[in-house]
Structure 1
Amino acid sequence: MALLIKDNCINCDMCDPECPNEAISFGAEIYEIDPNLCTECVGHYDKPTCQAVCPINNCIIVDPDNVETEQQLIDKFATIHA
């Protein structure tokens, strides 16, 4: 399950430096998360750090278009950091 930054993002830049997979970048108007790089911090932390530092409640959510099992996230982590 990759994460998704909703359009209520205020571009505070808190999430980008926290992402261990460098999945977050500034998009056309707001920050975006690359679902091919997002592992929801599986392999790094117990919880997604971007969600932890985001000052806007429910701004970063599970992306309904990119649902993955924990094993898929672990496999993606292994591939990214091979």
Structure 2
Amino acid sequence: MDTPKFTDWHSYDYLENEEDIRLYLEACAEIGDPELMKAAREDAAKARGIISKRRGASFESERETGSGASLEVSAKS
């Protein structure tokens, strides 16, 4: 009999914004398991780090290509 093969699955990979994180934490809190809440908080922290990195990469990409919003400052004498 072949051993089943599994892939890694992490909930933090699917938490794409603060609303997702909030809903995830609320759902875990409803279960009432302290160990689950500890793991959920860790997942939320990891998700926030991933989101932050994505935003940073997006900002760097826009800066390098010159796309995105620009800010012009004029000096008045």
TM-score by structure 1 length?
0.27
Structure of higher CA gyration radius: 2
Which of the pair has the greater relative contact order for Cα pairs under 8 Å at 6+ separation?
A: 1
Q: Per residue, is there more helix in 1 or in 2? A: 2
Q: Per residue, is there more strand in 1 or in 2? A: 1
